[in-house]
Amino acid sequence: MALPIDPIIFDILTWLFILPGAVLLIIGGIGMITMPDVFARMHPAGVIDTLGCELILVGLMFQAGLTIVTVKLALILAFIFFTSPTATHALARACLNAGVTPRVDEEKSAALSRGGRP
């Protein structure tokens, strides 16, 4: 806890992590609105879930120091890291099962019609 380092360094580190994280969150939010269809919107949602979230939580870790709070933040981070792809994948499967097909810009990618679910 009482490291022989000037606490201002940790403040600067916190800023260095939280500011890009905040920007990424807002860009992810904008992407959720501007992207054309539900499959394309999963990618900005991924930005929010992965890097945006992680940067802010790591920034908070620098303020907490070597305490139990940091461990809890790491647990939250690990949990979101492991569950967000699973949730996205479940949603994508549910979309395909319901007959929502992705809008593709490229005709030759007939990947879904061949072996995928109708």
Judged by CB under 8 A, the chain residues 66 through 95 that form the site for another protein are: 68-69, 71-73, 75-76, 79-95
Distance between terminal CA atoms of the chain?
A: 57
Residue 10 within binding range of another protein, rule CB under 8 A = no
Residues from 15 through 54 that contact another protein (CB under 8 A): 15, 18-19, 21-51, 53
Q: What CA–CA distance (Å, rounded) separates 108 from 111?
A: 8
Tell me the closest approach of the beta carbon of residue 59 to another protein, in angstroms.
7
Size of the site for another protein (CB under 8 A): 82
Tell me the closest approach of the beta carbon of residue 39 to another protein, in angstroms.
5
Angle at 49 between CA 44 and CA 50, to 5 degrees: 95
Q: What CA–CA distance (Å, rounded) separates 20 from 38?
A: 26
